[in-house]
């Protein structure tokens, strides 16, 4: 009898302990719960240097004007309405064409690559000239020939996208005379300098100091905050991209350069302006250096940043040649050189 009582007390004691432990566990879960599962680790990334930008809306819209001849195109450009779309059919449009007024909402000139603006001989002017043409969007078609392919003067917020520009006498595309806040994206440029190899740049931003009196009343050509991204530039006789003194705050990002045909330049990219961000570009076959920074005038060629670029130089120079070392230009260690005879850079990478 005594043994049975002791067994009963033991069973009750074990039950009480188990009940108490269960209650404590429930209380803990209700208050704090199980520790949270940590989120998966994400690789660190640098913020993009280029904010989202509007892109052209193709060749559709409420006010579409179809054209199929040079005469029809000239008339459509002269009478374009705000928000209108000029849609070029495939075919050759010989001559020099001009867009000479701003429109709000912006108008679009577009077509497939089979629609060709043909400027003719390599000394015959601008094949397409945008002058005071704020907001226009031009996309998709081909510009061929002429002394200069596409010239943009005194224009803001222009979008130039998906063009093929080829066979020009001098440079292919030029932003000049205070043309600011424009986007040059996803274009293919090739075969420049057929009139004068010295002037055969792919993309040219601003004006040389020697031309400021001709285009900007002897003041710096402040063609500022332009974005040049995702373009393919090859077979140019001069620089793939020439960024002049007087320009500030632009972005050169995600472009590809091939310099095997260069005869009148020694690098793909020549930066003479201030505060340009040069990121994620890649180039092959430079005559000397991949990227250069020059000080043409005191106060210019300063505070430019190079990050994440790949320079397959296959030449005797540097991947990044900063010609004056006291101007706060930064070459990040995320840049890479391949087959640059002199090494990565003239300055220590950061």
In a domain, 95, yes or no: yes
Q: Looking at the 3D structure of the chain, how many domains does it have?
A: 1
Instruction: Tell me the pLDDT band of 75, cut-offs 50, 70 and 90.
Output: very high
Confidence of residue 2 (pLDDT cuts 50, 70, 90): very low
Report whether pLDDT(9) > 60: no
Dump pLDDT digits (tens) for 316-337: 999 999 999 889 999 999 999 9
Question: Does 219 have pLDDT greater than 80?
Answer: yes
* 19 occurs within a structural domain: no
Count Cα atoms within 13 angstroms, Cβ side, for 62.
6
Which residues form the domain of 111?
90-345
Residue 260: CATH number of its domain = 2.160.20.10
In a domain, 306, yes or no: yes
Q: Is residue 34 part of a domain?
A: no
Q: Supply the pLDDT for residue 303.
A: 98
Q: Does residue 15 lie in a domain region?
A: no
Averaged pLDDT for residues 218-225? 98
pLDDT tens for 153-190 read 999 999 999 999 999 999 999 999 999 999 999 999 99
Confirm whether 23 is domain-assigned.
no
Domain annotation covers residue 172: yes
pTM for the whole structure: 0.84
Q: Does residue 186 lie within any of the structural domains? A: yes
């Amino acid at each position: 009898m005594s043994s049975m009582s002791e067994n009963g007390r033991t069973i009750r004691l074990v039950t009480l302990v188990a009940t108490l432990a269960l209650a404590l566990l429930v209380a803990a879960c209700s208050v704090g719960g199980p520790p949270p599962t940590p989120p998966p680790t994400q690789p660190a990334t640098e913020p993009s240097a280029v904010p989202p930008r509007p892109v052209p809306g193709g060749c559709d819209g409420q006010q579409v004007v179809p054209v199929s001849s040079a005469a029809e195109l000239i008339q459509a450009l002269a009478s374009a309405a705000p928000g209108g779309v000029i849609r070029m059919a495939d075919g050759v449009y010989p001559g020099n064409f001009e867009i000479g007024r701003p429109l709000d909402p912006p108008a679009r000139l577009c077509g497939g690559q089979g629609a060709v603006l043909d400027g003719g001989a390599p000394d015959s002017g601008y094949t397409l000239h945008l002058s005071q043409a704020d907001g226009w969007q031009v996309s998709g078609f081909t510009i061929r020939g002429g002394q200069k392919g596409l010239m943009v003067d005194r224009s803001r917020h222009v979008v130039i996208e998906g063009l093929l520009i080829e066979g020009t006498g001098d440079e292919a595309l030029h932003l000049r005379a205070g043309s600011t806040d424009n986007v040059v994206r996803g274009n293919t440029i090739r075969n420049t300098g057929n009139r004068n190899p010295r002037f055969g740049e792919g993309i040219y931003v601003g004006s040389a100091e020697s031309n400021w009196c001709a285009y900007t009343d002897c003041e710096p050509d402040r063609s500022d905050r332009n974005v040049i991204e995702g373009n393919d530039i090859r077979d140019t006789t001069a620089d793939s991209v020439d960024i002049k003194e007087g320009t500030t705050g632009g972005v050169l990002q995600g472009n590809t350069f091939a310099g095997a045909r260069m005869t009148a330049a020694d690098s793909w990219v020549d930066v003479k302006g201030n505060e340009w961000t040069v990121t994620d570009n890649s180039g092959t076959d430079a005559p000397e250096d991949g990227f250069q920074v020059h000080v043409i005038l005191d106060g210019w060629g300063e505070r430019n940043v190079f990050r994440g670029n790949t320079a397959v130089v296959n030449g005797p120079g540097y991947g990044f040649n900063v010609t004056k070392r006291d101007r706060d230009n930064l070459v990040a260690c995320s840049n890479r050189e391949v087959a640059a005879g002199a090494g990565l850079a003239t300055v220590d990478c950061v």
